[in-house]
Amino acid sequence: MIFESHAHYDDRRFDTDREELLTSMQEQGIETVINVGSDLEGVKKTLALAGQYGFVYGAIGIHPSEISDLDEETYEWLREQCIHPKVVAIGEIGLDYYWEKEDEVKRSQRYWFCRQMELAREQGLPVIIHSRDSAEDTLKIVQGIHGEQIPGVVHCFSYSPEMAEEYIKMGYYIGIGGVVTYKNARKLKETAARIPLGHILLETDCPYLSPEPERGKRNTSMNLKYVAKEIARLRGISYEEVVEATRENARRLFQKVK
Ligand code: NI
Protein backbone atom coordinates (compact mmCIF):
# COMPACT_ATOMS: atom_id res chain seq x y z
CA MET A 1 0.00 0.00 0.00
CA ILE A 2 1.21 3.47 -0.93
CA PHE A 3 1.78 6.34 1.52
CA GLU A 4 0.98 9.68 -0.15
CA SER A 5 3.00 12.28 1.74
CA HIS A 6 1.82 15.48 0.03
CA ALA A 7 -1.59 16.19 -1.51
CA HIS A 8 -3.93 19.19 -1.78
CA TYR A 9 -7.41 17.67 -1.93
CA ASP A 10 -8.78 20.92 -0.54
CA ASP A 11 -7.97 22.46 -3.96
CA ARG A 12 -10.82 23.83 -6.03
CA ARG A 13 -9.95 21.43 -8.84
CA PHE A 14 -11.35 18.58 -6.72
CA ASP A 15 -14.69 20.29 -6.02
CA THR A 16 -16.59 18.25 -8.61
CA ASP A 17 -15.57 14.74 -7.49
CA ARG A 18 -13.67 15.02 -4.19
CA GLU A 19 -15.90 12.65 -2.25
CA GLU A 20 -16.02 10.01 -4.97
CA LEU A 21 -12.25 10.18 -5.37
CA LEU A 22 -11.40 9.96 -1.67
CA THR A 23 -13.95 7.23 -0.99
CA SER A 24 -12.41 4.98 -3.66
CA MET A 25 -8.79 5.70 -2.82
CA GLN A 26 -8.02 2.87 -0.41
CA GLU A 27 -9.42 0.28 -2.83
CA GLN A 28 -6.92 1.67 -5.34
CA GLY A 29 -3.94 0.95 -3.10
CA ILE A 30 -3.51 4.30 -1.35
CA GLU A 31 -3.24 3.55 2.36
CA THR A 32 -2.62 7.00 3.87
CA VAL A 33 -2.81 10.58 2.60
CA ILE A 34 -1.26 13.67 4.18
CA ASN A 35 -3.30 16.64 3.03
CA VAL A 36 -1.14 19.73 3.19
CA GLY A 37 -2.47 23.19 3.94
CA SER A 38 -0.84 26.15 2.24
CA ASP A 39 -3.00 29.08 3.27
CA LEU A 40 -5.42 29.70 6.12
CA GLU A 41 -8.46 28.62 4.14
CA GLY A 42 -6.60 25.48 3.02
CA VAL A 43 -5.67 24.65 6.60
CA LYS A 44 -9.33 24.86 7.65
CA LYS A 45 -10.37 22.60 4.77
CA THR A 46 -7.51 20.22 5.61
CA LEU A 47 -8.81 19.88 9.17
CA ALA A 48 -12.30 19.16 7.82
CA LEU A 49 -11.03 16.47 5.42
CA ALA A 50 -8.98 14.84 8.18
CA GLY A 51 -12.12 14.78 10.31
CA GLN A 52 -14.17 13.22 7.54
CA TYR A 53 -11.81 10.47 6.29
CA GLY A 54 -9.97 8.08 8.58
CA PHE A 55 -6.99 7.62 6.25
CA VAL A 56 -6.50 11.37 5.63
CA TYR A 57 -4.20 13.29 8.00
CA GLY A 58 -3.38 16.98 8.01
CA ALA A 59 -0.31 19.18 7.81
CA ILE A 60 -0.96 22.75 8.83
CA GLY A 61 1.19 25.69 7.84
CA ILE A 62 1.39 28.74 5.60
CA HIS A 63 3.23 28.53 2.26
CA PRO A 64 5.83 31.26 1.58
CA SER A 65 3.66 32.74 -1.19
CA GLU A 66 0.73 33.06 1.25
CA ILE A 67 2.42 34.65 4.26
CA SER A 68 0.13 37.68 4.08
CA ASP A 69 -2.25 35.29 5.93
CA LEU A 70 0.08 35.32 8.94
CA ASP A 71 0.15 37.58 11.96
CA GLU A 72 0.41 36.88 15.70
CA GLU A 73 -3.28 36.05 15.92
CA THR A 74 -3.32 33.50 13.09
CA TYR A 75 -0.01 32.06 14.33
CA GLU A 76 -1.62 31.51 17.72
CA TRP A 77 -4.61 29.87 16.02
CA LEU A 78 -2.25 27.51 14.16
CA ARG A 79 -0.60 26.63 17.45
CA GLU A 80 -3.97 25.73 18.98
CA GLN A 81 -4.71 23.32 16.10
CA CYS A 82 -1.53 21.31 16.76
CA ILE A 83 -3.11 19.27 19.54
CA HIS A 84 -5.68 17.87 17.07
CA PRO A 85 -4.91 14.12 16.96
CA LYS A 86 -4.89 14.15 13.14
CA VAL A 87 -2.54 17.11 12.71
CA VAL A 88 0.72 15.28 11.99
CA ALA A 89 3.05 17.99 10.65
CA ILE A 90 3.69 21.71 10.16
CA GLY A 91 3.63 22.53 6.46
CA GLU A 92 3.99 23.52 3.93
CA ILE A 93 6.44 26.20 4.98
CA GLY A 94 9.62 27.55 3.42
CA LEU A 95 10.91 29.96 0.80
CA ASP A 96 9.84 30.65 -2.77
CA TYR A 97 12.01 33.12 -4.66
CA TYR A 98 10.65 32.02 -8.02
CA TRP A 99 7.48 34.07 -7.64
CA GLU A 100 8.89 36.68 -5.29
CA LYS A 101 11.74 39.00 -6.23
CA GLU A 102 11.33 41.82 -3.68
CA ASP A 103 13.88 41.85 -0.86
CA GLU A 104 11.41 42.97 1.76
CA VAL A 105 8.98 40.14 0.97
CA LYS A 106 11.84 37.64 0.87
CA ARG A 107 12.85 38.84 4.34
CA SER A 108 9.30 38.33 5.53
CA GLN A 109 9.29 34.80 4.04
CA ARG A 110 12.44 33.99 6.00
CA TYR A 111 10.93 35.38 9.21
CA TRP A 112 7.72 33.30 9.00
CA PHE A 113 9.63 30.23 7.87
CA CYS A 114 11.74 30.45 11.07
CA ARG A 115 8.70 31.07 13.25
CA GLN A 116 6.89 28.03 11.84
CA MET A 117 10.03 25.89 12.26
CA GLU A 118 10.06 26.98 15.91
CA LEU A 119 6.39 26.06 16.20
CA ALA A 120 7.20 22.56 14.95
CA ARG A 121 10.03 22.22 17.47
CA GLU A 122 7.82 23.42 20.32
CA GLN A 123 4.97 21.06 19.34
CA GLY A 124 7.20 18.07 18.61
CA LEU A 125 5.90 17.86 15.03
CA PRO A 126 7.86 17.28 11.81
CA VAL A 127 7.97 19.91 9.05
CA ILE A 128 7.14 19.82 5.33
CA ILE A 129 9.43 22.27 3.56
CA HIS A 130 8.78 24.00 0.24
CA SER A 131 11.88 25.50 -1.37
CA ARG A 132 11.97 26.96 -4.86
CA ASP A 133 14.83 28.97 -6.36
CA SER A 134 16.08 29.46 -2.80
CA ALA A 135 18.41 26.52 -2.20
CA GLU A 136 21.10 28.43 -0.36
CA ASP A 137 18.85 30.45 1.97
CA THR A 138 16.64 27.45 2.80
CA LEU A 139 19.62 25.32 3.80
CA LYS A 140 21.15 28.18 5.79
CA ILE A 141 17.93 28.61 7.80
CA VAL A 142 17.41 24.90 8.44
CA GLN A 143 21.03 24.45 9.54
CA GLY A 144 20.98 27.66 11.59
CA ILE A 145 17.85 26.64 13.51
CA HIS A 146 19.34 23.20 14.27
CA GLY A 147 17.25 21.29 11.75
CA GLU A 148 18.69 18.04 13.08
CA GLN A 149 16.37 18.60 16.10
CA ILE A 150 13.30 19.18 13.91
CA PRO A 151 12.56 16.17 11.68
CA GLY A 152 11.17 16.89 8.24
CA VAL A 153 10.92 16.43 4.50
CA VAL A 154 11.98 18.72 1.67
CA HIS A 155 9.00 18.29 -0.59
CA CYS A 156 9.05 18.25 -4.39
CA PHE A 157 12.81 18.20 -4.27
CA SER A 158 14.34 19.96 -7.28
CA TYR A 159 17.99 20.49 -6.32
CA SER A 160 21.18 18.46 -6.80
CA PRO A 161 22.13 15.16 -5.13
CA GLU A 162 24.77 17.11 -3.16
CA MET A 163 22.10 19.41 -1.76
CA ALA A 164 19.96 16.38 -0.87
CA GLU A 165 22.93 14.97 1.06
CA GLU A 166 23.11 18.14 3.18
CA TYR A 167 19.53 17.52 4.33
CA ILE A 168 20.02 13.79 4.77
CA LYS A 169 22.93 14.57 7.12
CA MET A 170 20.36 16.29 9.35
CA GLY A 171 18.08 13.23 9.12
CA TYR A 172 15.73 14.80 6.58
CA TYR A 173 13.65 13.01 3.96
CA ILE A 174 13.45 13.94 0.28
CA GLY A 175 9.99 14.09 -1.29
CA ILE A 176 9.92 12.84 -4.87
CA GLY A 177 6.94 13.27 -7.18
CA GLY A 178 5.83 13.31 -10.81
CA VAL A 179 8.72 15.43 -12.07
CA VAL A 180 11.06 12.42 -11.76
CA THR A 181 9.23 10.82 -14.72
CA TYR A 182 9.89 13.77 -17.06
CA LYS A 183 12.53 13.21 -19.72
CA ASN A 184 14.34 16.51 -19.01
CA ALA A 185 14.54 15.97 -15.21
CA ARG A 186 18.13 14.77 -15.39
CA LYS A 187 19.26 16.19 -12.03
CA LEU A 188 16.27 14.80 -10.14
CA LYS A 189 16.67 11.36 -11.75
CA GLU A 190 20.26 11.35 -10.56
CA THR A 191 19.17 12.34 -7.05
CA ALA A 192 16.46 9.63 -6.97
CA ALA A 193 19.01 7.03 -8.06
CA ARG A 194 21.78 8.03 -5.66
CA ILE A 195 20.37 9.05 -2.27
CA PRO A 196 19.63 6.33 0.33
CA LEU A 197 16.26 4.64 -0.20
CA GLY A 198 15.66 5.08 3.54
CA HIS A 199 15.28 8.85 2.98
CA ILE A 200 12.80 8.97 0.08
CA LEU A 201 9.09 9.77 0.38
CA LEU A 202 6.49 9.47 -2.39
CA GLU A 203 4.33 12.52 -3.05
CA THR A 204 2.12 13.95 -5.75
CA ASP A 205 1.58 17.63 -4.81
CA CYS A 206 -1.75 16.99 -6.55
CA PRO A 207 -3.59 18.55 -8.35
CA TYR A 208 -0.21 19.67 -9.75
CA LEU A 209 2.71 17.87 -11.42
CA SER A 210 1.12 14.76 -12.91
CA PRO A 211 3.71 12.14 -13.85
CA GLU A 212 4.10 10.66 -17.32
CA PRO A 213 1.97 9.31 -18.97
CA GLU A 214 -0.63 11.58 -17.34
CA ARG A 215 1.45 14.76 -17.61
CA GLY A 216 -0.63 17.90 -18.10
CA LYS A 217 -3.79 16.41 -16.56
CA ARG A 218 -5.06 16.87 -13.02
CA ASN A 219 -2.94 14.76 -10.70
CA THR A 220 -4.24 12.38 -8.00
CA SER A 221 -2.58 9.98 -5.56
CA MET A 222 -3.50 7.10 -7.88
CA ASN A 223 -0.68 8.27 -10.17
CA LEU A 224 1.96 7.54 -7.52
CA LYS A 225 2.44 4.11 -9.07
CA TYR A 226 4.20 5.80 -12.02
CA VAL A 227 6.52 7.67 -9.66
CA ALA A 228 7.35 4.50 -7.71
CA LYS A 229 7.98 2.62 -10.97
CA GLU A 230 10.40 5.27 -12.21
CA ILE A 231 12.33 5.31 -8.91
CA ALA A 232 12.51 1.50 -9.03
CA ARG A 233 13.80 1.62 -12.62
CA LEU A 234 16.43 4.26 -11.81
CA ARG A 235 17.71 2.27 -8.82
CA GLY A 236 17.41 -1.17 -10.41
CA ILE A 237 15.14 -2.50 -7.64
CA SER A 238 11.54 -3.72 -7.57
CA TYR A 239 8.44 -1.57 -7.51
CA GLU A 240 7.31 -3.32 -4.30
CA GLU A 241 10.58 -2.45 -2.60
CA VAL A 242 10.11 1.25 -3.37
CA VAL A 243 6.49 1.25 -2.16
CA GLU A 244 7.34 -0.60 1.06
CA ALA A 245 10.44 1.45 1.92
CA THR A 246 8.78 4.82 1.27
CA ARG A 247 5.79 3.74 3.37
CA GLU A 248 8.06 2.82 6.27
CA ASN A 249 9.98 6.09 5.89
CA ALA A 250 6.77 8.12 6.02
CA ARG A 251 5.54 6.29 9.11
CA ARG A 252 8.86 6.93 10.81
CA LEU A 253 8.59 10.66 10.05
CA PHE A 254 4.86 11.24 10.68
CA GLN A 255 4.63 9.53 14.03
CA LYS A 256 1.06 10.63 14.80
CA VAL A 257 -0.23 8.57 11.83
CA LYS A 258 -2.01 5.48 13.15
NI1 NI B 1 2.28 21.46 -2.15
Rounded average pLDDT per 10-residue block, the chain, 258 residues: 98 98 97 97 98 98 96 98 98 94 95 98 98 96 97 95 97 98 96 97 98 97 98 98 98 98
Query: How many whole angstroms from 48 Cα to the centroid of ligand 1?
Result: 18
Query: How many whole angstroms from 256 Cα to the centroid of ligand 1?
Result: 20
pLDDT at site 100 = 84
**176 close to 203: Cβ distance less than 8 angstroms:** yes
Query: How many whole angstroms from 75 Cα to the centroid of ligand 1?
Result: 20
DSSP assignment string, 50-63: HHH-TTEEEEE---
Query: How many whole angstroms from 131 Cα to the centroid of ligand 1?
Result: 10
Query: How many whole angstroms from 92 Cα to the centroid of ligand 1?
Result: 7
Query: How many whole angstroms from 221 Cα to the centroid of ligand 1?
Result: 13
**33 close to 57: Cβ distance less than 8 angstroms:** yes
Instruction: Give the pTM.
Output: 0.97
DSSP assignment string, 206-244: BTS-PPTTSTTSPP-GGGHHHHHHHHHHHHT--HHHHHH
Query: How many whole angstroms from 176 Cα to the centroid of ligand 1?
Result: 12
d(CA 98, CA 80): 31
3-state SS class at 177: coil
Query: How many whole angstroms from 158 Cα to the centroid of ligand 1?
Result: 13
Buried-state track 110-149, b at ≥16 Cβ within 10 A, e below 16? bebbebbbebbbebebbbbbbbbebbebbbebbeebebee
**CA atoms in the 13 A half-sphere facing the CB of 18:** 19
Query: How many whole angstroms from 241 Cα to the centroid of ligand 1?
Result: 25
Bond into 207 cis (ω within 30)? yes
Query: How many whole angstroms from 93 Cα to the centroid of ligand 1?
Result: 10
CB within 8 Å of 114: residues ≥ 6 apart: 141, 145
d(CA 195, CA 51): 35
pLDDT at site 99 = 85
**Position 3, amino acid:** F
Query: How many whole angstroms from 204 Cα to the centroid of ligand 1?
Result: 8
Query: How many whole angstroms from 8 Cα to the centroid of ligand 1?
Result: 7
Query: How many whole angstroms from 152 Cα to the centroid of ligand 1?
Result: 14
Alpha helices in the chain (DSSP H): 18-24, 40-52, 72-81, 103-123, 135-144, 161-169, 186-194, 224-235, 239-253
Query: How many whole angstroms from 240 Cα to the centroid of ligand 1?
Result: 25
